[in-house]
């Protein structure tokens, strides 16, 4: 059975990154197909966040290549990568604290070639998915609760009409009740044919939500399998994550 899709949306090939003298990513390769949900697991500090940042071009790999829809994007500046259709939702959300909810959304919405009608459509859609945000649309982002900020961060990325969203530990610091909401949001994204590359510490959630899983250890991919396989046999999970 072929694990990876024929023409992957996103290809990461043997990327290496450094932080000063530390070698963070030591040849990471992975692929995400159109509309797929792919999970990236691993202990703290193995380079999961860095991998997402490298895809978003917020970190530039010193070696290796990242390709999106077949085109290399490794050397592109981050704002071009975003415009190509890669949404990024960072750890600790990082919504713009002094912009209102609407203004936060507009940072992704106000792009070339988007008509006013389409903008309204997108806004209405996202407010329908996240009624809490609709309620608070005039409020400054910094006054929202942690869970609300997480929703805003994801909604903001959705405003880019991306083909893939990079989610970095969306459940971190959230109450357990909100974890199921994140699960629903990932489902919504999947329904909208948006691919998801999900980095998470919450293993059960990742196994449930993803089609395939990569396990990272010390800057390299150590294991790669369909989620169903790992759900059935969790010895591998135990070995690499100790849970």
Partner 1 sequence: MRSFTGTWACSVEFLQTIPFDQLLIQTINGIVTGMILALVASGLTLIFGIMDVVNFAHGELFMLGAYFGVIVLAATGDFWLALVASSLIVALLGAAIYLTTLRPLLGRDPLTTLLSTFGVSLVLQNYALWQFGPVARKIQEPFTGQFTLFYLDYPWYRLVIALLSAAIIGALWLFLKFGTFGIWIRATTQDRVMAQAMGIPVPWVLTVVFAIGAGMAGASGVLFGPLVGVNHAMGLDWILKTLIVVVVGGMGNLAGSIAAAIFISLLEAYASLWVSPAQAIIVSFVVLILTLLFRPTGLFASTPR
Q: Which residues bind partner 1 (CB under 8 A)?
A: 56, 58, 77-79, 82-83, 88, 90, 94-99, 103, 106-108, 110-111, 156-157, 160
SS3 at position 113: coil
Are the beta carbons of 8 and 29 closer than 8 angstroms? no
Contact in structure between 101 and 139 (CB atoms under 8 Å): yes
Torsion of CA 68, 74, 80, 82, to 10 degrees: 60
- CB closer to partner 1, 30 vs 95: 95
* Closer residue to partner 1 (CB): 109 or 227: 109
Smallest distance from the beta carbon of 31 to partner 1, in angstroms?
22
Least distance from partner 1 to the Cβ atom of residue 236, Å: 32
Q: How far is the CB of 6 from partner 1 (least distance, A)?
A: 29
Give the largest CA-CA distance in the chain. Answer: 52
Which contiguous run of DSSP H or E holds residue 74?
none
Q: How far apart are CA 151 and CA 137, in angstroms?
A: 12
Q: Which one, 88 or 214, has the nearer CB to partner 1? A: 88
Q: Closest distance between partner 1 and the C-beta of residue 85, in Å? A: 10
The residue among 151 and 213 lying less far from partner 1, judged by its C-beta, is 151
């Amino acid at each position: 059975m072929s694990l990876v899709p024929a023409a992957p949306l996103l290809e990461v090939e043997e990327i290496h990154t450094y932080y000063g003298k530390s070698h963070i990513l030591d040849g990471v390769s992975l692929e995400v197909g159109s509309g797929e949900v792919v999970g990236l697991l691993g202990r703290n500090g193995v380079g999961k966040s860095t991998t997402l940042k490298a895809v978003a071009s917020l970190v530039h790999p010193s070696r290796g290549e990242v390709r999106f829809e077949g085109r290399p994007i490794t050397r592109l500046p981050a704002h071009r990568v975003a415009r190509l259709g890669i949404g990024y939702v960072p750890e600790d959300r990082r919504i713009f604290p002094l912009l209102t909810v609407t203004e936060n959304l507009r940072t992704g919405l106000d792009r070339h070639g988007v008509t006013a009608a389409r903008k309204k459509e997108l806004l209405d859609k996202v407010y329908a998915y996240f009624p809490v945000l609709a309620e608070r649309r005039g409020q400054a982002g910094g006054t929202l609760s942690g869970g609300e900020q997480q929703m805003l961060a994801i909604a903001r990325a959705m405003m880019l009409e991306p083909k893939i969203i990079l989610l970095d530990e969306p459940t971190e610091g959230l109450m357990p009740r909100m974890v199921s909401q994140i699960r629903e949001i990932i489902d919504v994204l999947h329904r909208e044919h948006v691919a998801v590359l999900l980095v998470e510490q919450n293993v059960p959630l990742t196994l449930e939500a993803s089609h395939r899983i990569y396990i990272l250890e010390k800057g390299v991919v150590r294991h790669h399998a369909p989620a169903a396989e790992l759900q059935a046999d969790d010895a591998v999970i135990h070995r690499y994550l100790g849970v």
